[in-house]
Amino acid sequence: MKIRSSFVSNSSSSSYICVICGHEEGGRDIGLSECSMVQGKSTGDVYCERHIHSELIGKYIKKLTTVLDEDLTKAYAHRDMLNSIGLTNSELGIKCVNLSNKEVYNEYRTQFLEAFVDEIPTEVCPMEQLTFVSDHTALDYMLNKSEFTNKDQLLTFLKNTFDVYTNVKKHIDGK
């Protein structure tokens, strides 16, 4: 049993765990941004900022600026979001930004993560873009694609086939 001595259950403490690396952050009155973490819009999963790949952010920003150059109607639909990451001015004029300049790009990456800390867009979400798969998803997929429909069936099979866990690992590792 886990006993906490620093916060009570009705306090305003928060705790976040990255689904990719398992890194934990938390504290009293602390949000995702103070923990250098973000949350996926479609998955709801929490990730360390370092797992949000720069290439995906760069592609997303370039996609948005291209859309804005081509279609003013779409530009107005994205205005608030683009203003929040500094890509437009108040008249909705597109800023000419050299995203290949590492210093400039890092500034926009930082602004991007700050603007979308609570809901990063699907286009940059590690899970949605399949740059990562969680253990839970991997297990669900493998069970779904095998003869077993749940972990209990798999466990029964393993018990009947192998005498100890070490032998299961050897089998999995091909030894």
DSSP string covering the chain, please?
----SS--TTS-EEEEE-TTT--EEEEET--TGGGTEEEBTTT--EEEGGGS-HHHHHHHHHHHHHHHHH-HHHHHHHHHHHHHTTSB-TT-PBP---TTSHHHHHHHHHHHHHHTSSSB-GGG-TTTTTS---HHHHHHHHHHTSS-SSHHHHHHHHHHH-SSHHHHHHHHHT-
Looking at residue 85, what is its pLDDT?
60
Contact 30, 42 (CB under 8 A): no
Phi, psi of 88 (to 5 degrees): -135, 160
pTM of the model: 0.58
Residue 78 in any domain: the answer is yes
Burial of 156 (0-12, 13-18, 19+ CB in 10 A): exposed
Q: How many domains does the chain have?
A: 2
The confidence band for 69, taking pLDDT boundaries of 50, 70 and 90, is: low
pLDDT tens per residue, range 106-152: 777 777 777 777 788 888 888 888 887 877 778 878 877 888 877 88
Indicate whether 107 and 141 sit together in one domain.
Answer: no
Indicate whether 108 and 61 sit together in one domain.
Answer: yes
The confidence band for 61, taking pLDDT boundaries of 50, 70 and 90, is: confident
Q: List the domain range (segments joined by +) for residue 104.
A: 54-116
Instruction: Name 88's Cβ contacts closer than 8 Å, sequence gap at least 6.
Output: 68, 75, 79, 82, 94, 95
Looking at residue 13, what is its pLDDT?
78
Indicate whether 146 and 110 sit together in one domain.
Answer: no
Looking at residue 161, what is its pLDDT?
93
Mean pLDDT, the chain, as a whole number? Answer: 74
Indicate whether 97 and 67 sit together in one domain.
Answer: yes
**Residue 172: pLDDT over 50:** yes
Indicate whether 65 and 100 sit together in one domain.
Answer: yes
Looking at residue 162, what is its pLDDT?
92
pLDDT tens per residue, range 6-17: 444 555 778 899
